Amino acid sequence: MGRKTVYNNICTPELIAQISDENNELMEGFLEYLHSLDRSPNTIDGYKNDLEIFFVWNVQHNNNKFFIDFTKRDILKYQGYLLHELQHSSKRVRRLRSTISSMSNYIEAMMDDLYPTFKNIVNKIPAPDDVPVREKTILTDEMIQPLLDHLVEKKKYQQACALALALASGSRKSELLRFKTHYFTDDNIIFGSLYRTPEKIKTKGRSSRGKPLVKYTLVSKFKPYYDLWMEERKRLGIDIDDLFVVYRDGKWQPATITLLDSWADTFSNFLGIDFYFHSCRHRFTTYLSESGLPAEVIKNISGWESIDMVSLYNDSSVEDEFGKYFSKDGIKPAETKDLSDL
């Protein structure tokens, strides 16, 4: 099964309706402020959900207190509730704290005429240590290749193509749905080894437009499965340009996140471990690193702004890294490769 996160559903419409008018005004003002900054709809929805959790807790456990009058003890009480009553992970608690801290910054900066003495007190309270609560899934070629072979054997060519694209491009789940069939032509191959999208694809970003980037895909890792899927599309008479599709309401339509999630469950069942598409992003980075590409090149292929992201996504162990530089003869020169070797 795909990795899933369970959040407590405590924000019923009845409880949300009990949030005080003055707290509702603060929340709505903050969300409107985010709109004015062109934050993405998903980002704003996330803030809204987090604030509803906070203010519903305030209704039930803190006498519906006006947020402007909160003390550090109130924030500490809320943090304890998240940790011990809802049993949220430390990472989730830190996210919920960050939301009310952001709202506090908004009040302090933009509403100082109404509340001149208000100060952000959230960060005065120590946050829980960021302790992982579950093992990260680390994929290897030895695990993935039998899965790809199985999908091909079962003629699940679209699933094989999606998995191969995730592994060969490091794209996020939402980004996979934005690829078009016409991206993968010989004219779009550079250095004999990389597909380069002829247009920028919307990737994760803070604004409603995301961060448009050119995306790169390893030809050798992807093309065999793309070719199989294109032959199947031809047989089925699929004529839309979206690479991944679903048949609904009597016609072929662009695939959805829900379809990819169902495929992730299929992959998990075969592998016997939690599969999630983001683990392919780690595998992509790890493969490039194992192949000897410099971190700066990996950063640019992945579209990251900081080289620190390379080490964050590289799943190689410390001893794997040692193996590049040490042998029975002592220290050896590191082997480097160019893109044509991939």
Kindly tell me if the per-residue pLDDT of 266 is higher than 90: yes
pLDDT grade, residue 5 (50/70/90)?
very low
3-state secondary structure of 201: strand
Q: Of all residues in the chain, what percent carry a pLDDT higher than 90?
A: 73
Kindly tell me if the per-residue pLDDT of 258 is higher than 80: yes
Provide CATH code, domain 141-275.
Answer: 1.10.443.10
Tell me the residue length of the chain. 342
Per-residue model confidence (pLDDT) at position 189: 97
Stretch 202-211: mean pLDDT: 64
Whether 188 contacts 195, CB under 8 Å = yes
Q: What whole-number distance in Å separates Cα of residue 189 and Cα of residue 288? A: 18
pLDDT grade, residue 137 (50/70/90)?
confident
How far is the CA of 48 from the CAs of 126, 262, 306, in angstroms? Answer: 24, 27, 29
Amino acid at 59: V
pLDDT grade, residue 132 (50/70/90)?
low
Supply the mean pLDDT for the chain: 89
Stretch 58-76: mean pLDDT: 97
Q: Of all residues in the chain, what percent carry a pLDDT higher than 70?
A: 87
Per-residue model confidence (pLDDT) at position 7: 44
> Of 49, 133, 44, nearest to 96 (Cα)?
49
CATH topology of domain 13-124: DNA polymerase; domain 1 (1.10.150)
Residues of the chain with CATH 1.10.443.10: 141-275
Stretch 225-245: mean pLDDT: 97
SS (H, E, C) 127-157: CCCCCCCCCCCCCCHHHHHHHHHHHHHCCCH
pLDDT tens track for 184-197:
999 999 999 999 99
Q: Judge if pTM exceeds 0.85.
A: no
Residues of the chain with CATH 1.10.150: 13-124
pLDDT tens track for 286-329:
999 999 899 999 999 999 989 999 988 898 765 555 555 566 66
